[in-house]
Chain A
């Protein structure tokens, strides 16, 4: 395990020294001539010098959430390094300051404030759980910062200070349910999730869609406390109710217990009786579950490591070169990778690091180089993206079996689904 915090403090310190040296230089320049571009970009009160710009990375590298957030940190660092190798943003190298949210929501708020007020970063790439984002959000709105948030989440939010690079609930869920109904003839659904806001909101949307749009039936809806490790009872209930599809949003350590016990109970997931469709298990989670224990389930997401397009092949290669051959890349990791690139594009379009100008420039930004293919920023600050269905294989990868024809419009406040 690398110790990211060490290398970062070293980097941050180097950045600090450089800034100290830069001050007299900037003062001298102020009396003589200042290049127009630098002038434009430097009037923002942010940590921008003539050759560097500072950004923040804010994820949990300690505590429960470190399991999930590690991949995002790696993706964001890779993107920043690649951007720097291409010459940076507006001619400036990106320097990152990494802070640890420590899986503790108030810490996310505190560290956000530190990054915005003390370090004056031009953007922050971070947060993972909805709880951490909700904690940090007031700070970003008060001090007018810019947060790039990578996780697929429940929607019902739209802040001028956040760009949501993961999918909101309807983008991820509706396509998956439609697919199950259309391709697999599913009529009876069983909803199962961990007991907190994301699964509950997701299942609410799913239920409305199943009952009102698909005209099918929900035969069970169940929640288990976070960290629950005994699923034999619910497995019995599933056997009894015989649904066509079990729609799963179980998270964290519970996932491992659930799929291992499912397999041990003699349910062959490959038989698709019932069919298991998850919105919470990425390649990252399969590492802990074990490919042989989850083989045969389907996942509905926007990104899988196995996507065959050229962008993704280059991304996977670079990621492995940087972080090791046996690493896997999940949906959120890819979304985190988009953050720095979307920010770069917005800054270049605005010609400035100024938060307000970057915000104005953001809607309509497109990335043709995104590993998931192509994304565009909607005016509601979410991304237009495609949704794919993957079939889990024993090697821990998903095989893409379906892809939506068009980009799906993000709709964080879906009418008729609340």
Chain B
């Protein structure tokens, strides 16, 4: 199939395709990170993850309109403000949801699945009532659009670079936080042994709430960043939820490293196959591949060794 192309064309195409895979990888990590924290550390299956992401996207939409109306001079920098606000708004909603709903269901993991699914429907209808059923267009600052031409054929999209940078910053930030910070240590203590953690004076309820809020907050940032590459509508969150769960489950629920490794494997497999096959077939094969691995390794790629 490559006979008709010259060597230089092929090199550039593989370079671009590799880059496309890396962008997909970053997108996967970014959308799965919040879910991985909540699922891995708390055992809660958050079906409303996509809706938290879209809340972040709507916050971005609102902030961009506010900047356009009141602060047009510094419009170009609104995106950073939007991401920070998106984090806090979704984290606040996450904390509220944990307080109102999740904490009553910790002993019933299957019920959290149902309850958060209900929550996702409620949030969708809420967005529809507030923002309308149609998708909203989020205007991006000019510097995020376009691409850097490397050669005639190879062009690197700026927003792809931005998503990659953001993913690295957030992943490293979360990893550091889990390893070094007080909250991180407390979270890990609670995951390993809840009664003992409580006995040494850790406020486990507070830790749960902070963890859930953090996971939701990261979903908010992801949603904010995804306004660059996807749609913002009441049900757009549903577009991400399957891939997100796939990445988290495949990686091994309780390991952040697993999430990263799994995102890398799936994204590379998918983007390589997409190039040789049609999009739908690539998706089917990716899913088959994941199912196959999970049959051999039900716990996922990586697991945390915990004494129960």
- Give A residues with C-beta under 8 Å from B: 1, 3, 61-64, 66-67, 69-70, 195, 221-225, 227-230, 232-237, 239-240, 252-257, 260-261, 263-266, 284-292
Contacts and interface: CB of A to CB of B under 8 A. Distances in A.
B135 A288 contact: yes
Contacts of B27: 230
Contacts of A195: 279-280
Contacts, number: 152
A264 B146 contact: yes
A67 B133 CA distance: 5
Contacts of B133: 1, 61, 66-67, 69-70
B170 interface: no
A256 B139 CA distance: 12
B24 A232 contact: yes
A184 to B, nearest CB: 23
Contact of B229 (A260, A284, A291): A260
Nearest to A63: B235
Given A70-B134, A264-B157, A232 B271 contact: yes
Nearest to B283: A225
B32 interface: no
B205 interface: no
B274 A234 contact: yes
B128 A288 contact: no
A265 B157 contact: yes
A195 B274 CA distance: 14
Contacts of A230: 20, 23-24, 27, 229, 270-271
A236 B229 contact: no
Nearest to A239: B153
A223 B279 contact: yes
B106 interface: no
- The A interface is mostly helix, strand or loop, or mixed, namely helix
B160 interface: yes
Given A264-B145, A264-B157, A233 B229 contact: no
B23, B133, B147: most-surrounded residue (chain A CB, <10 A): B133
A397 B222 CA distance: 30
B5 interface: yes
Nearest to B277: A222
Given A1-B132, A64-B235, A253-B230, A233 B159 contact: no
Contacts of B204: none
Contacts of B232: 256, 288
Contacts of A67: 133-135, 233-235
B292 interface: no
A253 B135 CA distance: 8
Contact of A253 (B129, B160, B239, B279): B239
Interface in B165-187: none
B189 to A, nearest CB: 37
Contacts of A228: 279, 283
A257 B231 contact: yes
A224 B240 contact: no
A45 to B, nearest CB: 35
Given A266-B155, A287-B136, A290-B137, A225 B238 contact: no
Contact of B233 (A234, A253, A260, A266): A253
B20 A256 contact: no
Contacts of A66: 128, 133, 234
A1 B157 contact: no
B131 interface: yes
Nearest to A73: B133
Contact of B135 (A225, A234, A287): A287
Contacts of B235: 63-64, 67, 253
B149 A233 contact: no
B278 A223 contact: yes
Contact of B157 (A225, A266, A289, A292): A266
Nearest to A192: B279
Contact of A256 (B128, B135, B149, B274): B135
**Complex A-B, nearest 6 residue pairs according to Cβ-Cβ distance, in ascending order:** A288-B135, A256-B231, A232-B20, A224-B279, A266-B147, A266-B155
Contact of B238 (A227, A235, A263, A284): A227
A236 B283 CA distance: 17
Interface in B208-256: 228-236, 238-240
A287 B232 CA distance: 11
B5 A240 contact: yes
Interface stretch (B9-17, B71-79, B83-91, B93-101): B9-17
B9 A288 contact: no
A332 to B, nearest CB: 13
Nearest to A285: B135
A225 B131 CA distance: 26
A265 B153 CA distance: 10
A229 B229 contact: yes
A1 B134 CA distance: 10
Nearest to B274: A233
B275 interface: yes
Given A222-B278, A233-B274, A240-B13, A1 B231 contact: no
A235 B16 CA distance: 10
Contacts of B282: 233
A287 B280 contact: no
Contacts of A255: 231
13 contacts: A1-B130, A1-B131, A61-B133, A224-B279, A224-B280, A228-B283, A230-B271, A253-B239, A255-B231, A260-B159, A264-B147, A266-B147, A289-B231
A66 B153 CA distance: 40
A265 B280 CA distance: 22
Contact of B239 (A63, A227, A236, A289): A227
